[in-house]
Structure 1
Amino acid sequence: MNKLRAFRWPVAVLLVLAVSVLFLVLSIKQGLGNGSLTNGDWYTRESSGSADADVMVRATVAISGLLASTRENSMYYKLNAVDGEPLRLNCRYRIEGNNYDANWWSITAYGWDYFLIPNQEKRYSFNSENIIRGDDGSWVIHLSVEQADGNWLPVGPSGAAAADQSSDYDFDLSLRLYTPGDAYLKNPESAPLPVVTVESCS
């Protein structure tokens, strides 16, 4: 009987720790979608990369904003829904943009598990240097599972098992602007950003 009781205590402690860790992870992941500032469908946090960031923001950056630098050096925007509808694998999206007041920018697609999406093309992002532009400098990225012409960003299934999915969206987008201009530093909620629209859904 004493041996049984001695066995139960470690098991109970482990269960409590496991539930606590799970609750913390879910809380952090939920925080990823709660941007303090919105700009259209994009959102950002002014405190990301700041020395004033609280514990939850730092944990959020550790999960979804790897290698986030100071705000003066970079701005980070995320998007996981268009007009309130979560990004889905059964839809095709169009991202339209032009030049932005930054030394360098990139748009990257991540699976719901916050990792790069595996694909045969090994294409995970486009940036200001490798994107194909029109004569006027504008560009279009096609975001879909099925292959598309031009700037195609594949968004197939996440590397993690679908049964473990804990978000409403299938994937999300991260926009990084390095050495951004004053429009992004002073007015991130109204600065020019790419426009994402739904082309079709099956």
Structure 2
Amino acid sequence: MMIAVALGVGFGLSYYALTDGRLFGVAQVGPWAAWPDVGSDAPNPYTRAHLAREAGLQLGQSEGVQFVARNDSLGNPLIRACSYRVAGKTPLAAFWTLSAIDETGVNIAVPDGLAAFRSTDIARANDGSIQLNFGTRLQPGNWLELTGNGPFSLVLNLYDTAAFSGFSDDETMPRILKGDCR
């Protein structure tokens, strides 16, 4: 019985560390999560395991950082049946992209439209803040049309940034606000 409990706890914590990771090297800012050790010379063991599990090409530490949001700012999962607005300011970066992907990592923007928002191609408010809309139905302003059904994630890539040098609160990253659902 003790061996079964030990194995269950061990495998359970390992699975948690690789999927959620908040206690094991992930930087969480509101709904946005990033692995800051990705691309470093000596990443911690949890970051190495995360990289092995994801098997994706990651940015080097001097190139930038990738934030992923699977939930809105209230903690509800992002689903394509609803529209969302990403609002606020982004951390200082030379360039950034914001895209929507499904659970397998495939971009879910419509094939004939915009694949992702880029910092150079959006309309901003007078104070420099952003208002970006995501959804399967037409929305005003900056809009990225999504396809399909089911959950999705937002991926914010910050290039040439010092993003982890001054995070103090959730106002540093944009909020993800849920809109209408069908």
TM-score (norm 2): 0.75
**Residues 1:79 and 2:59 aligned together:** no
- The partner residue of 1:139 within 121, 130, 139 is 130
Q: Is the 8 A contact 1:38 1:189 kept in 2?
A: no
Q: Structure 1: 5+ residue runs without aligned partners?
A: 1-26, 159-168
Shift of 1:155: 2.2
**Residues 1:130 and 2:121 aligned together:** yes
Change (3 A) 1:149 1:120: farther
The residue number in structure 2 matching 1:152 is: 143
The residue number in structure 2 matching 1:59 is: 52
Change (3 A) 1:137 1:121: farther
More helix by share: 1
Q: Is the 8 A contact 1:28 1:60 kept in 2?
A: no
Aligned-partner Cα distance in 1 for 2:98–2:17: 22
Q: How does 1:12-23 map to 2 (within 5 A)?
A: none
Shift of 1:81: 0.6
Shift of 1:124: 2.0
Aligned-partner Cα distance in 2 for 1:190–1:121: 37
Q: Structure 2: 5+ residue runs without aligned partners?
A: 1-13
One-letter amino acid of the counterpart of residue 142, structure 2: N
Aligned-partner Cα distance in 1 for 2:148–2:16: 19
The residue number in structure 2 matching 1:199 is: 179
One-letter amino acid of the counterpart of residue 170, structure 1: P
**Residues 1:171 and 2:152 aligned together:** yes
Aligned-partner Cα distance in 1 for 2:31–2:86: 12
Aligned-partner Cα distance in 2 for 1:30–1:88: 24
**Residues 1:105 and 2:96 aligned together:** yes
Describe the SS at the equivalent of 2:134.
strand
Describe the SS at the equivalent of 1:141.
strand
- The partner residue of 2:32 within 42, 49, 54 is 42
Q: Is the 8 A contact 2:90 2:173 kept in 1?
A: no
Aligned length: 161
The residue number in structure 1 matching 2:6 is: none
Aligned-partner Cα distance in 2 for 1:187–1:136: 20
One-letter amino acid of the counterpart of residue 172, structure 1: S
Shift of 1:149: 2.3
The CA RMSD measured in Å over matched residues stands at 2.6
Aligned-partner Cα distance in 1 for 2:101–2:17: 16
Shift of 1:101: 1.2
Describe the SS at the equivalent of 1:185.
helix
The residue number in structure 1 matching 2:7 is: none
Describe the SS at the equivalent of 2:50.
helix
Describe the SS at the equivalent of 2:137.
coil
TM-score (norm 1): 0.69
Describe the SS at the equivalent of 2:164.
helix
Aligned-partner Cα distance in 2 for 1:190–1:61: 28
